[in-house]
A and B are shown apart, each in its own frame.
Chain A
Amino acid sequence: MHVAGIGWWSQSDTDWASLAARLRASETVAPGRGGARPAATSLPPNERRRAPLPVLLACEAAGQACAMAGLAPATLPCVFASVHGDLAITHEMCETLARDPRELSPTRFHNSVHNAPAGYWTVATGCHAPSNAVSAWHGSFGAGLLEAAVQACADDVPVLFAACDIAADGPLARVVDARDPFAVALVLAPGPVDPCLARLALRHVAEPAERNADPAFAALPLLRAIALGASSTIRIACGEGHSLDVGVGR
């Protein structure tokens, strides 16, 4: 599997070049907390104003990755992963439902679906290819990566993979660990590509991986290996008690 493009957005680093430089320079990189929002120029201006944060994050990273790969988003099947979905909307909706359910906002409801980023992305880019929205608890990044890679191999086409999460809000913030808003995207291609940022070999193993409860850290071990460029094998969670062993090379 070839990586043809990478996108990244967090409070600390707003693109792959910036994150890669920090990953090369330091063992400890945190995506960072804060309220800045990405530009998400893949979306039309009116959508940028009203789209929920996970949509902005996912579309920002996805747009970066497609631009780097030089591939038109309209033709790429896409897989969007998130541990929690839109925790801000979950909080707002549950609060409204507890107070007066008939005040529930129709827009908030249709934005609450787990596939909101996939929906906004395919509408904005005119993409009629298959789109997916997946989750696998702390293994969401790994499971989404596997799903995208499997689809790329099964249909012999490049596939866009994006993962994002946002900080928990309200009472939910005491229950789930999610603090650093982030998004990552990879364009995966089964055949040779130019540019080729890395080659990945994925193997599913029924053994656990070390993991951080905050979703924003899940992608960093793989991204660090890609940034360093040396051949290595890393293990990332793709579920409870299962993992992906990812061989990373050039």
Chain B
Amino acid sequence: MSYSAAAMDDRRLPARIRPLAITAHTATSALGCGVAAHLGALRERRSGLRPNDFTDAPLACAIGRVDGLERYRVPTAQSTLDCRNNRLAWLGLQQDGFLDAARAAVARHGAARVALVVGTSTASIGATEEAYRALDDGRFPAALDHAALHTPHSLGLFLETVLGTRGPCLTIATACSSSAKVFASAERLIRLGLADAAVVAGVDTLCGSVLFGFNALELVAPEPCRPFDVDRRGISIGEAAGFALLERDRDDAPLRLLGHGESSDAHHMSTPHPQGLGARRAIADALARAGLAPGDIDYVNLHGTATRKNDEVEAAVLADLFPPATRASSTKGWTGHTLGAAGILESVVCLLALEHGFVPGTLGTTTPEPVAAARLALGNEARAPRTALSNSFGFGGNNACLVFGLHGNA
């Protein structure tokens, strides 16, 4: 077998792109605030999942909850956009010097030359839910009676004002691939000269819609999720904020976005294509833009939600496309599935693996699907990847794949 992604179909594959420097990045999730908290939890195999204590109505499941958001507030100047999602965004921005780095990029490049591309699936729908619980004579309570608070773009509106960017600003809302696709859109804006730098973000928060919605679809596990385990029973939902700063012409920065690929399954709204056709195309395009073959990828961060179907399809794609020496894992046993934030959260996990020279394993899994077993890292592995690939797949058959690398290896 050739393990050539390009051999899968006869399409014209995209041309190789110039890598973009990632000059700042951070994440906040159930593992804690900032990259050190994530690195520590990954290394020490501490999960952030806990029994559901978020919903008033009982729902037996594990969740990945960020502590303290109930008491946290966005700045006064943005108070009409105060909601759990923007609080998590604001908390996340404070970590790892990201806010300062982003504002410095705005000062360096000029505000109109810095784009902002954000990914979210929940946006501030939690605030709309809250308004419906507190209706007064059919009206929203005054604190929530702000039109901008009830739009899918509420995260973009908030971030644009606190960061001061004036370049193109866009929300991508393609369910669980949202904050992977932000890297692709930002790269295109920079490549075509519409921006010299871009802040990309992904923020999703716990709310009734996703907890009870995924539960209604019978996709939520009663216990912490077990990605690729033969006995897996579904997802654990989490929340997270992730940010990255992409810049052109920064040869001094070690971390790089090498490639991206996007595709559609054209199969079903909430079930993946049985042969993973969309996933294969996204991976092939990402590798082509990176100028790499599957055998060049050292670490794959799988979507690995722990639903029966996703993991079955993704395991087969992994085994078909990548040689057995490839190391792969799903890190959702640590954070839960953070939905619209999963793309960027797991991108940050890839960057940590590259920076700190280790392969995170697959927490919570004891007996892996046989087809995945050869490539799946269960325990953490002390080997230093030079390239990493991240998969994100969403409802509507919406797929995205990203390739990252260390400078000098591209």
A interface residues with partner B (beta carbon < 8 Å): 74, 82-85, 90, 93-95, 97-98, 100-102, 104-106, 109-116, 118-120, 122-123, 125-137, 139-140, 143, 146-147, 150-151, 153-155, 171-172, 174-177, 204, 206, 238-242
Contact = CB atoms under 8 A, between A and B. Distances in A.
Contacts of B150: 172, 175-176
Interface of B: 14, 55, 57, 59, 111-112, 121, 125, 128-129, 131-133, 135, 138-140, 145-148, 150-153, 156-157, 160, 166-175, 181, 184-185, 188-189, 191-192, 194, 208-209, 211-218, 262-270, 277-278, 281, 394-398
A102 B216 CA distance: 7
Nearest to B219: A106
Contacts of A175: 140, 145-147, 150
Contacts of A151: 188
A150 B157 contact: no
A143 B209 CA distance: 27
* 7 shortest interchain CB distances as A-B pairs: A119-B396, A109-B213, A114-B173, A130-B262, A122-B264, A94-B132, A106-B216
Given A101-B208, A128-B278, A154 B172 contact: no
Contact of B266 (A85, A112, A127, A155): A127
Contacts of B157: 137, 240
A123 B209 contact: no
Given A93-B209, A110-B395, A132-B174, A241 B166 contact: yes
A171 B146 CA distance: 12
B238 to A, nearest CB: 18
13 contacts: A94-B125, A98-B129, A114-B121, A115-B174, A115-B396, A118-B174, A120-B269, A132-B185, A135-B173, A136-B153, A137-B156, A176-B147, A206-B166
Contact of B174 (A101, A114, A129, A143): A114
Nearest to A239: B169
Contact of A122 (B189, B217, B396): B396
Contacts of B168: 143, 146, 204, 238-239, 242
Contacts of A118: 174, 264, 396, 398
A14 B186 CA distance: 35
B264 A131 contact: yes
B153 A137 contact: yes
Contacts of A102: 57, 59, 212, 215
A239 B159 CA distance: 13
A119 B398 contact: yes
A150 B192 contact: yes
B216 A136 contact: no
A112 B243 CA distance: 26
Contact of B398 (A115, A134, A139, A154): A115
Contacts of A238: 168
Most buried by B among A74, A85, A93: A93
A180 B279 CA distance: 37
Residue of B148, B157, B175 most packed against chain A (CB within 10 A):
B175
Given A101-B211, A109-B213, A122-B264, 5 more contacts: A82-B152, A90-B128, A126-B266, A128-B265, A174-B139
A241 to B, nearest CB: 7
Contacts of A137: 148, 151, 153, 156-157
A93 B210 CA distance: 11
Contacts of B153: 83, 135-137, 140
Given A128-B278, A171-B131, A115 B394 contact: yes
Contact of B188 (A105, A143, A150, A204): A150
B398 to A, nearest CB: 6
Contact of A130 (B169, B216, B264): B264
Contact of B209 (A112, A116, A129, A204): A112
A54 to B, nearest CB: 12
Contact of B152 (A85, A100, A177): A85
B132 A206 contact: no
A206 B111 contact: yes
Nearest to A90: B128
B263 to A, nearest CB: 6
A137 B167 CA distance: 15
B397 A123 contact: yes
A242 B114 CA distance: 13
B191 A154 contact: yes
Contact of B192 (A131, A153, A174): A153
A136 B170 contact: yes
A90 B174 contact: no
Given A101-B212, A123-B268, A134 B166 contact: no
